[in-house]
Chain A
Amino acid sequence: MKKTIYIILFALLCVAVNAFAGLPSVSQMEVTDVTPASFAVTWVSSEPATGALALYQSDCVTPITGLVSTSEGNDTTGVIRVTVSGLSADAVYCYQASTVSKSTAEVALSPSQPAAVLTARMVVRSMTTGTALVPFGNDLLRAPAVSGAADGVLEVLYLTGGKDPVSLLLTNDITKQYFNMNNLFDAATGSTFNLTGGESVRISERHGISGCVIDRFRKVPADLETTGVRDLVGTPRIQDIDFNGTVNILDVLRAVGGAGTAAGDVCYNSDLDMMGHNKVDSTDVQSVIGSFDAIP
């Protein structure tokens, strides 16, 4: 009888331990910064973890070794980015990420089977004026300020027509908080995307273990072929949160989704703070509603 009780207690203990220290859960996995010679995979772990990539040939079976792989990320935030370089242009590779829990050393493989990536075709540089080394207009676009501490936050920039998104893993170094648009390639041609200005972008700000994902909408500034880091252009009408020219129900739902957050919260999105009072609440929602565009 006593032995039976011990067995039951041991089983319950195993269940309890498993509930708190299982495999790390992987989410928001995405391939970014695909160039002719490299690509990155970004993801978020449910707990502090380290990450690595296994690389395969296009059959997704034959392993590839000897390439340079760089893993980045703040150990505590759960955000991981691994960059593989030394690849061939216009070629298919397969990858599978491993996420190793820092507390239990258990390993999660994602996706369950290796997934394919097509590298970009070629780098095309063009300058309309001058013969100097620079300018390369719109090479570097400054990232919008993030909510809370920047260190370890991943920003992913999506541009319609772009082959793959461009990512930026933030640190506390404010001089490095910009997107390198050299890593943006055209989905149709596979060549370097020529940004002329006015392109709509969505920047997805990922705060790792907290699960918070904040979207900000901007436009690429006009390409003046000047040098240095340039600022993305924000909406001139703050209630038009998704910057599509109209305040509609989707803007209202974005404000509703952010209600209850305040400056300092990682889930706080300053784009939703219509009243500029460092929080998002019903007054901000009402501000969006007050600017709602009637359907013509």
Chain B
Amino acid sequence: MRFHSRTYAVLLALALILALAGAVHAAVVGISPASANATVGDTLLLTVGVDQASDLGGFQFGISYDPAALGINTVTVNSAFDLPVMNQFDNITGKGTVAASVYSSPTLSGTGLPLAVISFTVKSSGTTSVGLANVILGRIGGTEIPSTSAGAVVSAVPGAGPPAVTQVSPVNGASLVPVGTAVVASFSVPMNSSTIDTASFLLIGPSGAVAGSVVASGQTATFTPASALASNTTYTATVTTAAKDLAGGIGLAADYTWSFTTLLPTRTITASAGTNGGITPSGAVVVSEGTSTTFIIQPNTGYSVQAVMVDLVSQGSVTTYTFSNVTADHTISASFVDDIKPVGTITINSGALYTNNPSVLLSLTCSDAGSGCSQMQLSNDGIAWSGPASFATGTAWTLAAIEGAKNVHARFTDVDGNQSLSVIGTITLDMSAPTTTLSAPGGNYPANQSVTLTCNDGLGAGCAFIRYTIDDSDPLVSGLTYTAPVLISGPTTTLKFFAVDLAGNAELIQTQVYVIDANMPQITNVAPASGSFVNSSTVSYTLNKLMASGSVVYTRMSGTADAQSPHSYTMILPSDLSAGSHIVTDPVALVDSAVYSIAFSATDGVTSAPTVTVTNITHDQAAAGVTITSPTSGGRVNTPAVSYLLSEPTTSGRIVIDDGSVPFVHILSGAELTAGAHAVTTSAVLVHGMTYTFSITNVTDRAGNASPPANVPNVTFDTMAVVISNTSPVTKSIITTPTVTYTLSEQAASGTVLFTRSGGRPDAASPHLYTMTVSDLTGTTHGVTPPVTLVDGTFYTVSFAATDMAGNPATTVSNALVFFDSQYGKGPMGNVDNTGTSADIVDNADVIKLQDALGTRPGDGRWNPVCDLDRNNVIDARDLMILHSHYGQTGQ
């Protein structure tokens, strides 16, 4: 404690030194000049500036002054501060606020930096002060610059010149001035009120002087007409030299005169609004004749316009209404209705993510700017709702007592019955305490231990912290929060700990006692490790001293039954029990696919070493099954890809592609080694036409069992596609059946013929697809009549496609404008309409049909190749002449 106090004293002294150092370098904000002399009526400029500034980014200050003595005209901020923030002052209260920042400009440093120049009018004589308040200087980012500030003193003497009129209302030349307006004159200095009356302050209209009264006080005089002024009339106001100042009795240097014009004749529009909204302007609104006036109807938040009535006629729920060219008085009224749903929120246990208690506290909000929130309902599932209850900002609620994510639904109703949408609060209910595991349990150890504490909360909220003590004290009271492994030292240490999860569930306090004894026996470095796969019973371990006896016990945990379990091996003295490392090779016979624990025990004859147990050791003597599914023996491929199946997870393996000279090798890795089906595209560069053997070799499972290689020989690499040629029907041909012919350059694996309508008569069944059969795919010329039904008078594109045995697709051949006419070629030349009664005769029906296609060429909409009798790809007069030359002929 003494040391603690001394240290804190040193730290305090250091802080004071730093504070003093900071004070020395604090910026100073002041007013220049600090002491100013002025004359009443003068303009006085005072500069607020800063000394010893560094990286100044912005400033603010408040200014205070006596408004009877001074009045601010303007405040001009240093233009280096290119972001105006606030510049306002009130000459009634004598206060102002100025603030500005840099934005695009650089920051400022140095001494004598001006912040702002304030222009005052000196209003009265005497001494007065100008003060600064709440001065803050700052840097970009918001760091404050320490500063001090000081104000200024102003001494003013009376002025010597005559008073002057400084401001008038209405202003000179004003128009549309309301007829009830008073006329006001402001003076540069306080005036003697006794010198300002209706003789020295005149208002002259068309009929002469206007009757009225004058009131003068300080620096202001007001002429109030005895009655309303006339409409649309120009008046002239005058203050004469008889008006004198208060200080010296000096009159104006000359009469001061100004004029203004009043409003046009007026009409009154009476505007009113019901509750929950307003209309602007409202009341008796006086407007000049011939003008227009717009009214804005504004419902309160939460309400809508119900109706707007103009001269008792509804205008609907409009939000604006304009009276145009007003020539008479009117009325306008608005009413409002609450038709907006309230909105609300729900929070469970102040927004906690987890809770360990089904009883929770709900925090609710509901807002409804209309009639106001009235009731609420709650639910655990959004289906079964509680009865309506008065809205409250907080209420107790009980969750369904099953651990997991929980929703609580809430909905709200306003006074007018509008119901909100349902809102949902969520929380996870976790009532199970976490558990803590140790890297080394309590017991006897030959050396100090670094103990790792690990908290496990299962499927719960997750661990929050672990508290522990190592002095046998109660961790509830003095426990430290676990952050790093705990050092356990001898001779005896009691470790107490407990974990708490994020839902607040706390584990019962656990206690472990450690005795550190350098001479106690110990077994370390045991193998295999927990979770291993092995194909023998070989084990290894290290003893720290010569032991008297020991054993290794294999006990089946799961997997294949083992009637001989447990298997026990007794360590042999001295070969297995001397100090140092040992390997015992296959001491017992284990069962394939059985899972074992292995316990290592030893004693020096006095004290037993802590038994070391490894678990989940799987004894596996069967190698993984390996099958290549693609390519197949004798097959053809066009990529260096291999598909294969592994019967169990493996640790190594390779794909070999061998042409008999230098094999290509792909080492399997990562996901390629897992159990199941795989497809791997290797980077092998293969040669078209060459034959290869695809193999998977060197496969080893987790227990080290090697699998025999899987081989697929005689695989031909083929990258050359099959070629389709000699196709018919050819482009622009006329066909009477769907018969096609084609030649394939090699055996194909698949192929199709596709008839796709491209014009002519409709064909709802288009496209027509024919899939080539096995006999259609050989590498020769084929003639096939696909079983498809084409439509007479329809144009088709006939497309041929095929893919070879290695998967290489042929270039598709497409023949366009193939015309199908099942009756084509029957009857005499010119018998283009060879159907029905004119099937066998060249008659007028043929003429009409040819004329319908006259002037067309292939591809035109009306093109009909049957009518192109001279086969010159145009249907013209020559075709018509040919038809006429055969007109009337009959026969097949």
Q: How far is the CA of A253 from the CA of B59 in the complex (A)?
A: 9
Chain A residues closer than 8 Å to B207, beta-carbon distance: none
Q: Which residue from A221, A254, A295 sits with its C-beta under 8 Å from B134?
A: A295
Given contacts A68-B487, A249-B59, A257-B141, contact A134 B97 (CB under 8 A): no
- Tell me, in angstroms, the Cα distance from A282 to B95 when the chains sit together: 29
- CB pair B83 A256 closer than 8 Å: yes
Q: In the complex, which of the residues B60, B133, B502 contacts A140, with contact meaning CB atoms closer than 8 Å?
A: B502
**Once bound together, how far apart are the Cα atoms of A224 and B350, in whole Å?**
10
Cβ of A121 within 8 Å of any chain B Cβ, yes or no, is yes
* Residue-wise interface mask of B (475-504) relative to A, using a CB-CB cutoff of 8 A (1 in contact, 0 not): 011111101111100000000001010111
Q: A4–B835 Cα gap in the complex (Å)?
A: 105
Q: Cβ of B481 and Cβ of A249 under 8 Å apart?
A: no
Indicate which residue in A67, A70, A118 contacts B4 across the interface (CB closer than 8 Å): A118
Given known A-B contacts A123-B480, A190-B4, A228-B503, A292 and B462 have beta carbons under 8 A apart: no
Known: A68-B485, A248-B60, A252-B101. Contact between A229 and B464, CB under 8 A? yes
Cα–Cα, bound, A36→B467 (Å): 13
**Contact digits for A57-88, partner B, Cβ 8 Å, 1 yes 0 no:** 00000000011111000000000000101100
Q: In chain A between 85 and 123, which residues have their CB closer than 8 angstroms to a CB of chain B? A: 85-86, 90-92, 118, 121-123
Inter-subunit contact A256/B503 (CB<8 Å): no
Interchain CB contact (< 8 A) of A134 among B62, B84, B133, B506: B506
Chain B nearest Cβ from A183, distance in angstroms: 7
Q: A212-232 CB contact bits vs B (8 Å, 1 = yes)?
A: 000100000100101111110
A133 at the interface (CB under 8 A from B): yes
Please tell me if B142 contacts chain A, counting CB pairs below 8 Å.
Answer: yes
Contacts of B101 in A (CB 8 A): 249, 252-253, 256
Contact B504 A249 (CB under 8 A): no
- Whether B350 lies near A227 (C-beta < 8 A) is no
Contact with A along B100-118 (1 / 0, CB 8 A): 0111000000000000000
The answer to whether the Cβ of A155 comes within 8 Å of any Cβ in the partner chain is: no
Interface pair A292/B86, CB less than 8 Å apart: yes
Assembly CA distance A215 to B487 (angstroms): 37
Q: Are A228 and B354 in contact (CB under 8 A)?
A: yes
* Central interface residue in A122, A178, A289, by most chain B CB within 10 Å: A289
Q: Is A45 an interface residue (CB 8 A)?
A: no
For residue B461, CB closer than 8 A to chain A, the reply is yes
Which residues of A lie under 8 Å from residue B62 when comparing CB positions? 295-296
Q: How far is the CB of A174 from chain B (nearest CB, A)?
A: 10
Asked if A241 is an interface residue, CB under 8 A from chain B, the answer is yes
Whole-angstrom distance from the CB of A112 to the nearest CB of chain B?
18
Interchain CB contact (< 8 A) of A228 among B59, B478, B485, B502? B502
Q: Which of A38, A254, A296 contacts B483 (CB 8 A)?
A: A38
Q: Is the CB of B99 within 8 A of A252?
A: yes
Minimum CB distance partner of B10 in chain A:
A116
Q: Does A125 lie within 8 Å of B7, measured CB to CB?
A: no
Chain A residues with CB under 8 Å of B176's CB are: none
Known: A249-B99, A252-B58. A35 touches B506 (CB 8 A): no
A18 contacts the other chain (Cβ, under 8 Å)? no
Is B793's beta carbon under 8 Å from chain A? no
Q: CA A178 – CA B356 in complex, angstroms? A: 19
Say which residue of B4, B88, B484, B487 sits within 8 Å of A121 (CB atoms). Answer: B4
Q: Which residues of chain B are near A224, meaning CB under 8 Å?
A: 350
Decide if B136 is an interface residue (CB 8 Å cutoff).
yes
Is the C-beta of B828 less than 8 angstroms from some C-beta in chain A?
no
How distant is the Cα of A126 from the Cα of B32 in the complex, in angstroms? 58
Chain B hits for A91, CB < 8 A: 3
Q: Which of B7, B355, B484, B500 contacts A83 (CB 8 A)?
A: B484
Contact of B142 among A66, A241, A294 (CB under 8 A): A241
* B316 close to A (CB within 8 Å): no
Neighbour of B136 across the interface among A66, A183, A248, CB < 8 A: A248
Q: How near does chain A come to B428, taking the closest CB pair, in angstroms?
A: 10
- A104 → B minimal CB distance (Å): 29
List, in ascending order, chain B residues with CB within 8 A of A70's CB: 483-485
Contact pick for A285, options B59, B83, B134, B136, CB 8 Å: B83
| 0 or 1 for each of A193-236: is its CB under 8 Å from B? (1 = yes) | 00000000000000000000001000001001011111100000
Task: Please state if A253 and B350 are interface contacts (CB–CB under 8 Å).
Answer: no
Categorize the interface residue count of chain B.
35 or more
A226 and B349 contacting across the interface, CB-CB below 8 Å: yes
Which A residues touch B667, using CB under 8 A?
Answer: none
In the complex, what residues of A have CB within 8 A of residue B486's CB? 68, 85
- Which of B99, B137, B140, B465 sits near A256, CB closer than 8 Å? B140
| Chain B residue nearest in CB terms to A188 | B8
A67 vs B489: C-alpha distance when bound (angstroms): 11
> Which single residue of chain A is at the shortest CB-CB distance from B504?
A227
Q: When the two chains form their complex, are residues A295 and B97 in contact, meaning their CB atoms are under 8 A apart?
A: yes
B302 interface residue, CB < 8 Å from A? no
Cα A139 to Cα B97 in complex, Å, equals 43
CB distance from B106 to the nearest CB of A (A): 13
> Contacts A249-B59, A251-B142, A253-B141 hold; do A134 and B500 have CB atoms under 8 A apart?
yes
Is there an interface contact between B140 and A228, defined as CB atoms closer than 8 Å? no
**Cβ–Cβ contact A86 & B487, under 8 A:** yes
A295 touches B461 (CB 8 A): no
Interface centre among A37, A85, A252, A296 (most CB of B within 10 A): A252
Which residues on the A side are within 8 Å of B144 (C-beta)? 250
Residue in B58, B133, B353, B483 whose CB lies within 8 Å of A253: B58
A256 touches B504 (CB 8 A): no
- Mask of A262-296 contacts with B, CB within 8 angstroms, 1/0: 00000000000000000000100100010010111
The answer to whether A226 touches B350, judged by C-beta atoms less than 8 angstroms apart, is yes
B142 touches A68 (CB 8 A): no
Is B849's CB within 8 Å of the partner chain A? no
| B484 pairs with A38, CB closer than 8 A | yes
Pair B83/A139 contact, Cβ less than 8 Å: no
Q: How far is the CB of B247 from chain A (nearest CB, A)?
A: 34
CB-CB under 8 A for A229 and B352, given A249-B136, A256-B57, A285-B83: yes
A31 to B502 Cα, complex, angstroms? 27
Q: Which of B346-396 contact A (CB under 8 A)?
A: 349-356
List, in ascending order, chain B residues with CB within 8 A of A249's CB: 58-60, 85, 99, 101, 136-138
Tell me, yes or no, whether B312 is within 8 Å of chain A by CB: no
Residues of B within 8 A of A47 (CB): none
User: Quick check: A140 and B85 within 8 Å, CB to CB?
Assistant: no
Are B502 and A256 interface neighbours, CB within 8 A?
Answer: no
A270 to chain B, nearest CB (A): 16
**Does the CB pair B504–A135 fall under 8 Å?**
yes
Cα-based distance from A121 to B354 in the complex (angstroms): 33
Does A129 touch B at the CB level, under 8 Å? Answer: no
B478 CB contacts on chain A under 8 angstroms: 122-123, 125
- Whether, in the assembled complex, A182 has its beta carbon less than 8 Å from a beta carbon of chain B, the answer is yes
Q: Which of A92, A215, A295 contacts B7 (CB 8 A)?
A: A92
Query: Shortest distance in angstroms between A185's beta carbon and chain B's nearest beta carbon?
Result: 12
B487 neighbours in A (Cβ, 8 Å): 66-68, 85-86
Give Cα A215 to B139, complex, Å. 14
Chain A residues with Cβ below 8 Å from B57 are 253, 256-257
Interface of A toward B, CB cutoff 8 Å:
33, 35-38, 66-70, 83, 85-86, 90-92, 118, 121-123, 125, 132-136, 139-140, 175-176, 178, 180, 182-183, 190, 215, 221, 224, 226-231, 241-242, 248-254, 256-257, 259, 282, 285, 289, 292, 294-296
Closest 10 CB pairs of A and B: A227-B504, A295-B62, A254-B142, A257-B141, A133-B506, A249-B60, A175-B462, A70-B484, A294-B97, A295-B97
Given contacts A132-B506, A134-B506, A248-B136, 13 further A-B contacts (CB under 8 A): A37-B480, A91-B3, A133-B506, A175-B461, A175-B462, A227-B500, A228-B356, A229-B353, A231-B350, A249-B59, A256-B101, A256-B103, A257-B57
A to B CB contacts below 8 Å, 29 in the list:
A35-B480, A38-B484, A69-B484, A121-B4, A123-B477, A125-B478, A133-B498, A134-B504, A139-B465, A176-B462, A221-B350, A226-B350, A226-B504, A227-B504, A228-B502, A230-B350, A230-B352, A249-B99, A249-B136, A249-B138, A250-B136, A250-B144, A251-B142, A256-B83, A282-B103, A289-B83, A292-B86, A294-B97, A295-B97
